[in-house]
């Protein structure tokens, strides 16, 4: 399963990196230069491109001045595998199927033979044949966009919208996540057919370490802000049903349904999608939405804040084993320790419902319960040669406040 570990500049850069990774955009190395001119080549193209596209392959690019001119010039564009492409002109944005850039003039003009070089690496999602399609923006959307996931068999259509919510006055810089049953660029972000309602993952406006893990049916993001961890899930779970019985088991899930939520909030209703929360016992205001077989989106929450305590939600829709119908069993699971050999047992995270009907829907793909005994955030647990990242639930460090993300 493809994954990426990196550091974003801020919440907008994190949003762009998520979209590029999930949609299979290639990565690009540093730009080198030899020659006389002191202009610059800047990578970048049609959003969300940062200089590459899903069609970009792994190769070396050589951009060479073939005709010098005062305050201008012409450059050949050659890929080591793709071969010669159309020429580029100084000062004119350049874009082909593989790369996009602009060459800017400097104080010293370019001379024939001046040369830029850079390397591209095929996107991990393309290499795995599981890339999503970037559909574009809704008609009033200024950042981010909508994506369409192909599913594990390549025949699904899973619609996910990603944007950002910034309010400098309250020091809030978040990511906005939503799902739908289709996409129409002529409609507003929140007016898409079968809109799930927006949920939010907290972020901030400075450097942010992150982990993205994706396949054709879902992507998961974890981001570190100061000493807290934040997360989202977008796409299908692994249902206990056939596609004909349940064709759209999509879980659009982050941390809160309230845009004005700062990353530092200390509240028992502010939680990850693995062990979600809500504002009150029966509140529909949840940061996690699941598309039921009846075509409606319902909120999930395990806990809510009550008199300063972590109290089991009365909403009737839970993620097991952190919470469920049997409080005695829940309490026992919270005390799970390591195995006698020091290894950890991972348990599936199962979505289940008591209302509007009693159903056990399925498991969150690639995410697991793990005990916090002798454990900590960012630990790597290895099981049968596969790495699992340990994640804490925002700021919580009790033994039942951790989960594991499969990095494969």
Residues 226-250: pLDDT tens digits?
999 999 999 999 999 999 999 999 9
Residues near 328 by beta carbon (within 8 Å), at least 6 away in sequence: none
Structure confidence at residue 315 (pLDDT): 82
Assess whether pLDDT exceeds 80 at residue 83.
Answer: yes
Mean pLDDT of all residues belonging to the chain: 94
pLDDT in tens, 174-227: 999 999 999 999 999 999 999 999 999 999 999 999 999 999 999 999 999 999
Cα–Cα distance measured from residue 41 to residue 114, given in angstroms and rounded to the nearest whole number: 12
333: left (phi over 0), alpha (psi -120 to 50) or beta: alpha
Assess whether pLDDT exceeds 70 at residue 325.
Answer: no
Structure confidence at residue 282 (pLDDT): 64
The percent of residues in the chain predicted with pLDDT above 90, rounded, is 87
Structure confidence at residue 329 (pLDDT): 58
Mean pLDDT of 380-396: 97
Structure confidence at residue 280 (pLDDT): 72
Tell me the whole-structure pTM to 2 decimals. 0.96
Structure confidence at residue 326 (pLDDT): 54
Under 8 Å between Cβ of 155 and 182? no
Structure confidence at residue 32 (pLDDT): 98
Residue-wise DSSP of 83-149: EEEEEEETTS-EE-SSBEEEEEP-SS---TT-EEEEEEE--HHHHTT-PPEEEE--TT--S-EEEEE
pLDDT in tens, 248-293: 999 999 999 999 999 999 999 999 999 999 877 666 678 999 999 9
């Amino acid at each position: 399963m493809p994954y990426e570990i990196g550091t974003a500049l801020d919440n907008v850069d994190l949003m762009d990196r998520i979209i590029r990774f999930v949609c299979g955009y290639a990565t690009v190395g540093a730009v080198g230069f030899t020659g006389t001119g002191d202009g610059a080549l800047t990578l970048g193209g049609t959003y969300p491109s940062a200089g590459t596209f899903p069609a970009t392959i792994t190769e070396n690019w050589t951009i060479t001045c073939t005709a010098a001119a005062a305050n201008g010039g012409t450059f050949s564009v050659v890929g080591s595998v793709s071969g010669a492409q159309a020429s580029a002109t100084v000062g004119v944005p350049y874009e082909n199927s593989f790369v996009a850039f602009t060459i800017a003039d400097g104080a010293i003009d370019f001379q024939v033979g001046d040369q830029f070089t850079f390397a591209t690496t095929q996107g991990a999602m393309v290499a795995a044949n599981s890339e999503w399609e970037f559909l574009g923006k809704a008609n009033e959307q200024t950042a981010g966009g909508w994506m369409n996931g192909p599913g594990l068999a390549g025949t699904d259509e899973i619609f996910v919208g990603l944007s950002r919510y910034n309010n400098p006055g309250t020091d809030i810089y978040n990511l906005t996540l939503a799902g739908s049953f289709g996409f129409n660029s002529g409609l507003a972000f929140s007016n898409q057919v079968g809109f799930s309602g927006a949920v939010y993952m907290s972020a901030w406006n400075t450097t942010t370490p992150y982990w993205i893990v994706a396949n054709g049916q879902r992507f998961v993001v974890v981001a570190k802000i100061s000493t807290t961890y934040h997360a989202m899930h977008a796409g299908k779970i692994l249902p206990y049903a056939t596609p004909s019985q349940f064709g759209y088991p999509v879980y659009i899930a982050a941390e809160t349904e309230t845009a004005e939520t700062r990353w530092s909030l200390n509240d028992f209703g502010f939680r990850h999608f693995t062990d979600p929360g809500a504002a009150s016992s029966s509140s529909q205001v949840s940061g996690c939405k699941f598309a039921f077989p009846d075509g409606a989106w319902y909120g999930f929450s395990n806990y809510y804040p009550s008199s300063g305590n972590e109290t089991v939600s009365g909403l009737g829709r839970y993620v097991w084993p952190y919470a469920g119908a049997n409080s005695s069993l829940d309490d026992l699971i919270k005390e799970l320790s390591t195995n006698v050999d020091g290894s950890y047992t991972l348990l599936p995270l199962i979505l289940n419902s008591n209302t509007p009907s009693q159903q056990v829907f399925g498991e969150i793909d690639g995410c697991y319960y793990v005990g916090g005994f002798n454990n900590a955030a960012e630990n790597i647990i290895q099981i049968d040669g596969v790495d699992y990242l340990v994640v804490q639930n925002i700021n919580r460090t009790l033994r039942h406040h951790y989960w594991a993300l499969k990095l494969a």
